[in-house]
């Protein structure tokens, strides 16, 4: 059972308020890209499909895993952290044990075109310090950095900046 659409923003606000957000300072935070997990949305749009290969290529060895509620992800040979529907609570929040699967990672890239509560909140709850996303309405709450354009090119620029730091 999914909550009515008008309740979702309220749930999102409560989910973000209950998170412990670590302080992040740039450019040092770019070093966190070395252990990156990618969040794959439940309903990827065309732009997401197109940027998947480019993100995978841009990250290279920094790409450690992909998290998804589906097995249908476009990242070959990547470690898949598959979440079952049982990982969602009654009102759509991910259960804490599901979020704890991400404790190893230091950066996350959310490819969801719009904040997706069961998936997008997980890096926040896992305490991942560097969180990149596409949805600017959650900038500063769920994401430290918004990458609205060609994510692969932007990630390459971040990695290049990291090498200069």
Q: What pLDDT does residue 66 have?
A: 94
pLDDT, tens digit, for every residue of 111-132?
A: 988 888 888 888 988 889 899 9
The number of folded domains in the chain is 1
Residues of the chain below pLDDT 50: 1, 3-4, 6-8
> What CA–CA distance (Å, rounded) separates 120 from 132?
10
Does residue 3 lie in a domain region? no
Q: What pLDDT does residue 16 have?
A: 58
Does residue 29 lie in a domain region? no
Domain that holds residue 92: 34-164
Does residue 56 lie in a domain region? yes
The 3-state secondary structure of 9-36 reads HHHHHHHHHCCCCCCCCCCHHHHHHHCE
Does residue 28 lie in a domain region? no
Does residue 15 lie in a domain region? no
Does residue 122 lie in a domain region? yes
Q: Return the CATH number at 107.
A: 3.40.50.2000
């Amino acid at each position: 059972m999914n909550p009515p659409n008008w309740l979702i923003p309220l749930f999102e606000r409560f989910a973000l308020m209950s998170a412990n957000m670590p302080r992040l300072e740039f450019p040092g935070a770019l070093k966190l890209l070395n252990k990156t997990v990618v969040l794959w949305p439940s309903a990827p749009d065309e732009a997401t499909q197109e940027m998947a290969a480019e993100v995978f290529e841009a990250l290279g060895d920094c790409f450690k895993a992909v998290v998804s509620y589906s097995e249908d992800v476009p990242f070959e040979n990547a470690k898949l952290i598959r979440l079952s529907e049982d990982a969602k609570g009654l009102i759509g929040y991910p259960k804490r044990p599901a979020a704890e699967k991400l404790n190893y990672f230091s950066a996350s890239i959310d490819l969801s075109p719009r904040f997706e509560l069961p998936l997008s909140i997980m890096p926040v709850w896992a305490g991942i310090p560097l969180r990149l996303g596409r949805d600017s309405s959650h900038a500063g709450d769920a994401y430290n950095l918004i990458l609205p354009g060609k994510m692969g090119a932007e990630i390459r620029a971040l990695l290049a900046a990291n090498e200069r730091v």
